[in-house]
Structure 1
Amino acid sequence: MDLVSVWEATANPSKPRSSLEGDHYCDVVVIGAGFTGLSTAYHLQKNNTRTIVLEQSKVGAGGSGRNGGQILTGYLHSMSALVKQKGLDAARQMLQMSLDSIALIESITQENGISCSFQRKGHLAAAYKPSHLEELKKEQQALQRDFNYSVKIVEKRDLPNELKTDFYFGGSIDETSASFHPMNYALGLAEAVENQGGTIFERSPARSIERDAQNRVVVKTEHGRVIANELVIATNAYSGNLHPLISKTIIPVESIMIATEQLPEKLAQSLIPQDRSVYDTKYMLYYFRRTPDNRIAFGGSGRTTGKRDARELFLNLRAGMVKVFPELEKARIEYSWSGKVGFTRERLPYIGKLKDGTHFAYGYAGHGAAMSTLMGKLLAANIRREQRGEGRQNPLEINELRPIPFYSQSSKVVGLMKYYYKFLDYIS
């Protein structure tokens, strides 16, 4: 189902990279060349820590190059819900981390001259029901009261200033959020890693992870090995069965996207006048935006495990796009693709270190375009702090991974998930 994305089709030229052959030595080996792994390597190399990144396909081939390019504030849970779950102090720290994640991406793109169409135009959370707008208003009050953070409520009568649609009942605007071309950011971040002295091997899937007699990590691929002092697994929803415990603590959920043909500039601008990233409040949400070349990129939750129903899913997503924007009824769909989103049992990101010495970060629940770069920086900081014998403090830090009950990525549970999600879509 992984068809060509609009981001891959319109990406900047990328340099060829070799696959791993023979034995290579470094301080830290990172598995996964998405935003998390590349950011980890980038920040390690900036501190003179020799790093090798192994990627089973190509840079950005997973979720990092396939998402909607929406760099959003916050988390899947509302901040008021996180106050109840984590406490006010931790929730405040988590909000600041979210804001820091966007600022970090902005600074990395500027410092390294990454051409990825980064822009801060904010996001709109569009209310699918009148009751959802009331919930957004309550969240606005909580953000102002508990976090001294301001968002703007848009009533339905004022919505045409944001969206040319009758599908929604208002919304909430956060001006801090940003957007970018995700594949170009991944490619630029990879070049920044290499410019700092790091090495990236593509088409080099890790086959096994062992420890040698000196307690060094040995990661084997088909044609070579990497021997390192530290290991980082940054494969998120594409973890497969590489690490048994991590595999049992993340649920990969498929999300699908379509992109129209290039639209007349006037039409594209009229549909989303302020050029914001948009997502709605349906349980099976839609998310969409204008692309830099005047297409509408429109996404939703695919919830499929096979190819038989892929065509139907894309047709349904196109029908959803036309419901939101009737003017796109005759617009040709030029790109259709899918990607995997990683969820943990708490639907919050995990970061930490296992007893076997593995460093990890994953489970962004749809907010990885923003959070993963920061999590890579935090992974690098954790490794350096350990080397200096320092402690660390992070509300997303988890000391022990607990397998999700009755779940494995190869079990029948995954096959049944699509029926469960269809039911959720029906009642939402």
Structure 2
Amino acid sequence: MAIDIFTADFRAAPWWWDDCRTPEEPRADLPRAVDVLVVGGGYAGVHCALTLAEGGRDVLVLDAERLGWGASSRNGGQITGGVNVGKIPGGGNATKSAAAEQRQAILRDAAAGLRHLEATIERHQIQCGLHRTGRLTALWTADHWKGWQDRLDDLNRYSDAEARMIDAKSMADEIGSDFYRGGVVIGRAGHLQPAQLHAGLLAAARRAGAKAQGSTRVTAIMRQRDGDWKVETSRGSLTAETVVVATNGYTGRLVGPLHRQVIPVTTHMIATEELPADLAKSLLPSNRAVSETRRVINHFRLSPNGRRLLFGGRARFFPAAEQVTAAILHRAMLQRFPQLAGVRISHSWGGRVAVPFDYMPHIGQHDGVHYALGCNGSGVVMMNWLGHGIAQKILNGTSDRVNAFDTGTMPTHPLFHGKPWFLPIVGTYYQARDWLDRRLAA
């Protein structure tokens, strides 16, 4: 007989929302005109609005759902500076020295993004459960050791990662599991409560003068003869001098080919019921966030109060009920922590990340519309940094690059038209490769 893995009060919703769900402001009439309209009320859109409002611009943020409803309040809350970026767009055609220079610039700017986010949290006194306790990248196989060891010099030199390798024996000091073959400790990293971060950023943007409304879908953006934009919404129309699209994993056909330049991938998470304090402490003694080196990763961390394990990953590559994805993640969790047998799941949820074809975050313009897209699942730092970067370009009135992610264009594929029909095929293949790598290395 199957054992029920769910608590009596199980919810198919983010655990983060128990502590913080962005309240809807009383609905106000839309202005007839604004300096800047931002489409998308997640990290990128809200941070863009914060920087613009502090720079004296009249800015309005609109979102089709509740503000912060998407990945900004559904993610795992891990923060790093440069660990998850560094692949070079067009690297196959670049000279070795040019590729190295670009990689170094990417690492520097990713680290700058983490510093900027930490400074923003401090400046606005955002209470978001921030723990600067580092991250553990757990090696799926011993063969992954060399690849990570080769990266350490660049990570430490250009992104101040404070990274070091640890062998399988030393992993006992970091994690209550013998599942992995060693790891990489990233000192300049940590974790936070993502919904509280979003709410704090939104409150700061509003204090600076930005306006933001949810439940208002933008349906069309059209250039007028005078150069301004006419924007149609589900609640009427308005004009804007400048438009920013910051919809990331929820990007539709609103502007040109943007929906063909990012692959929406759904990632899932579960939260355990509260654990005994000694058991929770034994899982992650240093309270680090954890991610894996395999292709289809799992990631996990303790809740801000240290009493729950929050466990995530790619549970399914096609739509499935939250109870189904929870059962898959629960099995993966027990593989890593058999001592959690009998622990029940209180919450299960999913959210979309956006993966560009070159695996690089991007800011740029399409026919005059600014965009910030492609967090690759590392959006807490990156989407805030990209939104801030767009705001800098608008405030400075420049076409010059503001950071290494300001590439101006994004690649696509002729067989991709916005629907990731290939994900079940590719995902299953990657899972098989992970299984085979692990088996051959055993």
| TM-score, normalised relative to structure 2 | 0.89
Shift of the alpha carbon at 1:400? 3.1
Once residues 80 and 155 of structure 1 are traced to their aligned partners in structure 2, the CA distance between those partners, rounded to angstroms, is: 29
- 1:45-84 alignment to 2 at 5 Å? 45-74=53-82, 76-77=84-85
Closer, same or farther in 2 for the Cα pair 1:358/1:119, shift >3 Å?
Answer: same
Aligned amino acid, residue 76 of structure 2: G
Deviation at 1:90, TM superposition (A): 2.2
- Which of 311, 314, 333 matches 1:301? 314
State which of 274, 292, 304 in structure 2 corresponds to 1:262: 274
From 425, 432, 436, give the equivalent of 1:426. 432
Q: Which amino acid aligns with 1:383?
A: I
Deviation digits for residues 271-330 of structure 1 (CA, Å, limit 9, x no counterpart) = 00111110011111010000113111101113433236x544331211000111111111
- One-letter amino acid of the counterpart of residue 356, structure 2: T
Identity of aligned residues (%): 26
Letter in 2 for 1:292: P
Partner of 2:401: 392
Equivalent of residue 191 in structure 1, options 196, 203, 213: 203
Matched, 1:375 2:386: yes
User: Which of these residues, 160, 175, 180, is aligned with residue 172 of structure 2?
Assistant: 160
**CA–CA separation in structure 1 for the residues paired with 2:375 and 2:129:** 23
CA contact (8 A) 1:385 1:392 kept: no
**Which of 169, 172, 186 is matched with 2:184 structurally?**
172
Listed as ranges, the gaps of 5+ residues in structure 2 are: 1-10, 435-442
Aligned partner letter, 2:40: G
Deviation per CA, 1:223-245, whole angstroms, max 9, x where unpaired? 22231100000000101222231
User: Is the contact made by 1:76 and 1:348 (CA closer than 8 Å) also made in structure 2?
Assistant: no
Q: Which amino acid in structure 2 is aligned with residue 305 of structure 1?
A: F
Residue 104 (structure 2) aligns with: 92
CA distance in 1, matches of 2:223, 2:88: 44
Mapped contact 1:154–1:173 kept (Cα < 8 A): yes
Aligned length: 419
Larger CA deviation: 317-326 vs 66-75: 66-75
| Aligned-partner Cα distance in 1 for 2:270–2:40 | 25
Partner residue in 2 for 1:34: 42
Match of 2:423 among 402, 417, 420: 417
Conservation of the 8 A alpha-carbon contact between 2:216 and 2:234: yes
Judge conservation of contact 2:82–2:155 (CA < 8 Å) in 1. no
- Distance (whole Å) between structure 2 residues aligned to residue 89 and residue 181 of structure 1: 34
Task: Give the deviation of 1:395 after TM superposition.
Answer: 2.4
Cα distance in 2 for partners of 1:380, 1:206 equals: 20
Q: Matched residue of 2:64: which SS?
A: coil
| Cα distance between partner residues in 2 of 1:350 and 1:342 | 11
Q: Does 1:25 align with 2:33?
A: yes
Question: Cα–Cα, structure 1 residues 143 and 74, in superposed 2: closer, same or farther, change >3 Å?
Answer: closer
Query: Do residues 252 (structure 1) and 264 (structure 2) align?
Result: yes
Q: Give the match for residue 357 of structure 1.
A: 368
* TM-superposed deviation, 1:403: 3.2
CA distance in 2, matches of 1:81, 1:247: 19
- Conserved in 1, the CA contact under 8 Å of 2:162 and 2:188? no
Q: Which has the higher mean CA deviation after the structures are superposed, 78-87 or 181-190?
A: 78-87
Matched, 1:287 2:296: no
Of 118, 123, 126 in structure 2, the residue corresponding to residue 111 of structure 1 is: 123
Partner of 2:406, secondary structure, is coil
Gaps of 5+ in 1: none
**Number of the residue aligned with 1:4:** 13
The 1-side partners of 2:24 and 2:180 are apart by: 45
- Of 35, 44, 50, which aligns to 2:52? 44
The answer (yes or no) to whether the contact 1:305–1:415 under 8 Å persists in 2 is no
* Cα shift readout 1:36-56 (whole Å, capped 9, x = no counterpart): 000100000111011000011
* Bigger mean CA offset, 67-76 vs 118-127: 67-76
Distance 1:391 1:322 in 2: 50
Is the 8 Å Cα contact of residues 85 and 107 (structure 2) preserved in structure 1? no
Q: Which among 318, 321, 326 is matched to residue 330 of structure 2?
A: 318
The one-letter code sitting in structure 2 at the alignment partner of 1:422 is T
Question: Which residue does 2:7 correspond to in 1?
Answer: none
In the superposition, relative to structure 1, how do residues 248 and 148 fare at CA in structure 2: closer, same or farther (>3 Å)?
closer
1:16 match: secondary structure: coil
- 1:43-90 CA-to-partner distances (Å, cap 9, x unmatched) read 001110110000111121111111000012225455799988662222
Verify: 1:403 aligned to 2:412, yes or no: yes
CA contact (8 A) 2:111 2:160 kept: no
Letter in 2 for 1:394: N
- Counterpart-to-counterpart distance in 2, 1:9 and 1:30: 28
Q: Relative to structure 1, is the Cα distance of residues 78 and 245 closer, same or farther in structure 2, using a 3 angstrom cutoff?
A: closer
Aligned residues: CA RMSD: 2.3
Q: Secondary structure at the match of 2:358?
A: coil
AA matched with 2:68: G
1:217 corresponds to which letter in structure 2? W
Aligned-residue offset at 1:402 = 3.9
Contact 2:110 2:159 survives alignment (8 Å):
no
- TM-score, with length taken from structure 1: 0.92
**Shift of residue 96, structure 1, vs aligned partner:** 1.6
Aligned CA distance change for structure 1 residues 142 and 211 (closer, same or farther; 3 Å): closer
Deviations 1:89-145 (A, max 9, x none): 222221121112112121111211211011211111100101012322222245457
* Residue deviations 1:242-264 (CA, integer Å, cap 9, x gap): 22310111100110111101111
Deviation per residue, 1:127-173 (Å, 9 max, x gap): 01010123222222454577786411111011011001011011001
